[in-house]
Amino acid sequence: MLLPPMPLLPAYITSLFVLTTLLTFIGCVWIIHRASTAATRSKLYKIALGIWVWLTIQAFLAMKGVYHAHPAAMPPRIMLFGILPALLFIAFLFVSPAGRQLLDSLPLQPITYLHTIRIPVEICLYALFLHGTVPALMTFEGRNFDIIAGITAPIVAYFYFSRKQLSPRLLLWWNFLCLALLINIVINALLSTPSPIQRFAFDQPNIAMLYFPFACLPVFIVPVVLLAHLTAIRQLLRRPAS
C-alpha cells in the first residue's frame, strides 16, 4: 500500500489547526481550574503537564513518520500508539474511584462551552479537503455534521446556565445527540485512513491525520470532546429527578 504524499499546505491551515489544539488545551486547564473541589484544582499543574507530555509524544511520533510510514501495519499505528491509549485513559477515569471523583467535580458550564472548538476543527477539515488531504465525506459537505454540535454548544450553554430556560433532560439529550455526531465522523475518518481497515475514499483518503500537527485531532482533540460528553452525561444521569 502506497500512501499519497502530503502536499505543501497554505500556512493558514496549519496555523489555524495549531491554534485550535492550543485552545483545546487551554479549555482543559480552564475546566480543571473551575472544578468544584480543591482536590481536583490542586491537580491542575500535574494534569496540564500530563497533557503537554502527551502532545509532545504524539508530535514526535507524527514527525518521525511512525503514523504515515507504515500504512499496511495492523493495527494501524495511530490507533495503537495514539487513539487506544487515550481511550484506555478515559476508561480508567470512569472505573477508578479517584477518576470518578475527579469527573464529578468538573463544572458543566465550561464543559459545554468547550464543544465550540468543533467549529474551527470543521473549518480545518474543509480546508484540508480542498487541498486533497482528507475526503469530502469528512466535511460538512459529506457525512460530517459535527459542526452542528459546535454551533449549538454556546446556544445550549447560554439558555441552560445563564437563562435557566432549558431542562437537564434537554441538556442530556443534546449531549447524546452530539456524541452520536462525534462517533459518526470518527468511524468515517478511521475507515477513510490508508490502512488494512480502509473502506472509503480510496481516491482521496484521509492522510492528513497521519501527519503533524493534524494527528493531534484523533489523539487529543477528539478524546477531549468524547470525555466532555461522557462526563456531562454521567453527571446529568446522576442528578436526582426534579
How does pLDDT run across 164-177, given as a tens digit for each residue? 999 999 999 999 99
pLDDT at position 2 is: 62
For residue 180 the three cell numbers come to 452520536
pTM for the whole structure = 0.96
- Checking if the pLDDT of 72 tops 90, the result is no
pLDDT at position 240 is: 72
Nearest of 235, 233, 225, 231 to residue 185 by alpha carbon: 225
Sign of the CA dihedral with 82 first, then 83, 88, and 90 last: positive
Residue type, 129: F
Nearest of 36, 204, 207 to residue 111 by alpha carbon: 36
* Residue 233 · residue 172 · CB < 8 Å: yes
Tens-place pLDDT, residues 229-240:
999 999 999 987
- In angstroms, rounded to a whole number, what is the distance separating the alpha carbons of residues 3 and 71? 7
Taking CA atoms, 161 is separated from 76, 107, 148, in Å, by 41, 11, 20
pLDDT at position 177 is: 98
Mean pLDDT computed over 78-86: 97
- Checking if the pLDDT of 20 tops 80, the result is yes
Mean pLDDT computed over 40-52: 97
Residue type, 7: P
pLDDT at position 239 is: 82
- In angstroms, rounded to a whole number, what is the distance separating the alpha carbons of residues 56 and 205? 26
pLDDT at position 1 is: 60
Radius of gyration of the chain (CA): 18
- In angstroms, rounded to a whole number, what is the distance separating the alpha carbons of residues 53 and 127? 28
Tens-place pLDDT, residues 182-199:
999 999 999 999 999 999
- Checking if the pLDDT of 241 tops 70, the result is no
- Select the more confidently predicted residue: 4 or 206: 206
- Checking if the pLDDT of 3 tops 90, the result is no
**Backbone dihedral angles phi then psi of residue 189, each to the nearest 5 degrees:** -65, -45
- Checking if the pLDDT of 82 tops 90, the result is yes
Q: How do the domains of the chain map onto residue ranges?
A: 11-238
Could you write out the DSSP letters of every residue in 49-72?
A: HHHHHHHHHHHHHHHTTTTTS-TT
**Backbone dihedral angles phi then psi of residue 231, each to the nearest 5 degrees:** -65, -45
For residue 213 the three cell numbers come to 500537527
Average pLDDT, the chain: 95
